[in-house]
Amino acid sequence: MREYFAGIWAARYFWMHLAMADLRARWRRSFFGVLWSMLQPLGTALLLAIVLARLLKQDIRSYAPYVISGMIVWDFVMAVSTGGALSFVQADAYIKHFRHPLAIYSLRTVIANLTVLGLASVPMFVWAAIAQPGNLGVTWLGALSIYPVLLLIFWPLITLLAYAGSRFRDLPNVMQLALQALWFVSPVYFGTKMFRDAKLDALVDYNPIFHLLQLVRAPLLEGKWPSAANFEFCAGMAILFTILAWLVGRKAERRVIFYL
């Protein structure tokens, strides 16, 4: 295992370059370029917030950051899970040419998407600071934990998906469907109170998406630290996926090249 991670470290310029190349491709020849990653979620979230705040009788000032946080984290989950399942397939030319640990290709997907998330979260922080300045404080450091936490959860998860995705190319479609289902039962746009009022507490308390979102929402919307339960749930996922990825990878790692 140590050797495997040493290989990832040795190839650091390689995968950092690939992640940067993905981002360059994303913003290539566009006038606003990088700005789009901030404007696009901000615009969509504002439109949504205006409509939903009316429908659900919420105060738009606090509800907008709720929607933005839900949307950008969800966009990340969606992009990284569907695209990530093809991490190895897309890197086939590299895999057939260089002998690097395969986890660098899933890492590349996660890093590129985390960068996009980082940019998209700038308007969220700004909005929250302006709309509810009372919540601004040290607890906001807790909100920043979302980035490393997402990395620790999604890197092994995407590696796992990519092993499977190289063999079963239907996986991105399956993931899309599964995520759609998860979206409906998660407090992404709808407040947790709605779930609890409907006696659907389990959908909140045992929902990984809820715990992930709380890392950002507790500090920004309530001025509180994320709860221990939030962190425990996230740590549990990271550990579970790492073990699974390791178990699958032991057998699958070397054989992936045959399926590309």
CB 172 within 8 A of CB 165: yes
Cβ nearer to other proteins, comparing 168 with 184: 168
| Near other proteins in 92-121, by CB under 8 A | 93-99
Residue 75 token pair: 């966009």
CB 158 within 8 A of CB 110: yes
| Near other proteins in 15-54, by CB under 8 A | 16-17, 21, 24-25, 28-29
Q: How wide is the angle at C-alpha 175 spanned by C-alphas 247 and 151, nearest 5°? A: 55
Q: Does 257 bind other proteins (CB under 8 A)?
A: yes
Q: Does 251 bind other proteins (CB under 8 A)?
A: no
Applying CB under 8 A, which part among 41-49, 57-65, 227-235, 250-258 lies near other proteins?
A: 250-258
Applying CB under 8 A, which part among 10-18, 50-58, 215-223, 226-234 lies near other proteins?
A: 10-18
Residue 50 token pair: 């205006």
Applying CB under 8 A, which part among 8-16, 32-40, 182-190, 238-246 lies near other proteins?
A: 8-16
Q: Does 259 bind other proteins (CB under 8 A)?
A: yes
3-state DSSP helix/strand/coil % of the chain, to nearest 5 = 80, 0, 20
Minimum CB–partner distance for residue 97 and other proteins (Å): 6
Q: Which of 147, 124, 144 is nearest to 70 (CA)?
A: 124
**DSSP strands (E only) in 76-186:** none
Q: How far apart are CA 108 and CA 113, in angstroms?
A: 9
Interface residue with other proteins among 4, 8, 14, 26 (CB under 8 A) is: 14
Residue 164 token pair: 């499977």
Interface residue with other proteins among 13, 133, 138, 199 (CB under 8 A) is: 13
Q: Does 250 bind other proteins (CB under 8 A)?
A: no
Question: Cα–chain-centroid distance for residue 127?
Answer: 21
Q: How far apart are CA 44 and CA 40, in angstroms?
A: 6
Minimum CB–partner distance for residue 14 and other proteins (Å): 6
| Residue ranges binding other proteins (CB under 8 A) | 10-11, 13-14, 16-17, 21, 24-25, 28-29, 93-99, 254-255, 257-259
